[in-house]
């Protein structure tokens, strides 16, 4: 992945419990680097290339739909949904959504932030 041409791309995600969110997103994404610490941030990094995920502790709970969310693309929708649910996600859609050959579920992380697990069209 090429970096943002003027610097680095960092995705910032609000959460209430840094340790819980760091453990969840590290397991789901295979990122590393949270290892505790102090202050209102935890930085998670991909094993090789990709954007940093910066978790930011905030005092308020999430109340509305995300305006930006993560998509996790996978060849096996059911298996990936089961894996992220085991890590602590909650499935928000009772059945997969289908559009133009894509199938996906909307899930919530431990703080209620929505993200999608998507299976691309066959072929």
pLDDT (0 to 100) of residue 3: 63
pLDDT (0 to 100) of residue 34: 66
Please tell me what DSSP assigns to residue 31.
-
Q: With a cut of 50, list the residues of the chain below it in pLDDT.
A: 1
Q: Where are the alpha helices (DSSP H) in the chain?
A: 18-29, 77-87
pLDDT (0 to 100) of residue 39: 86
Q: Output the CA torsion 10→91→117→13 (10° steps).
A: 0
Ordered by where they begin, the domains of the chain are: 1-60 (3.10.180.10), 63-123 (3.10.180.10)
pLDDT (0 to 100) of residue 35: 60
pLDDT (0 to 100) of residue 74: 96
pLDDT (0 to 100) of residue 36: 61
- Asked if 8 and 19 count as a contact pair (C-beta separation under 8 A), the reply is no
Please give the backbone phi and psi of residue 28, each rounded to the nearest 5 degrees, phi first.
-65, -45
pLDDT (0 to 100) of residue 37: 63
pLDDT (0 to 100) of residue 59: 85
0.95 surpassed by pTM? no
pLDDT (0 to 100) of residue 81: 98
């Amino acid at each position: 992945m090429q970096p943002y041409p003027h610097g680095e791309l960092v995705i910032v995600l609000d959460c209430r419990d840094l340790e819980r969110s760091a453990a969840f997103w590290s397991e789901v994404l295979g990122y590393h680097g949270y290892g505790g610490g102090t202050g209102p941030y935890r930085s998670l990094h991909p094993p090789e290339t990709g954007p940093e995920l910066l978790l930011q502790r905030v005092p308020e709970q999430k109340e509305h739909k995300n305006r930006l969310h993560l998509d996790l693309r996978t060849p096996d929708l059911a298996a990936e949904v089961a894996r992220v649910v085991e890590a602590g996600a909650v499935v928000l859609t009772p059945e997969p959504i289908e559009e133009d050959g894509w199938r996906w579920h909307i899930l919530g992380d431990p703080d209620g932030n929505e993200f999608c697990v998507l299976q691309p069209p066959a072929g």
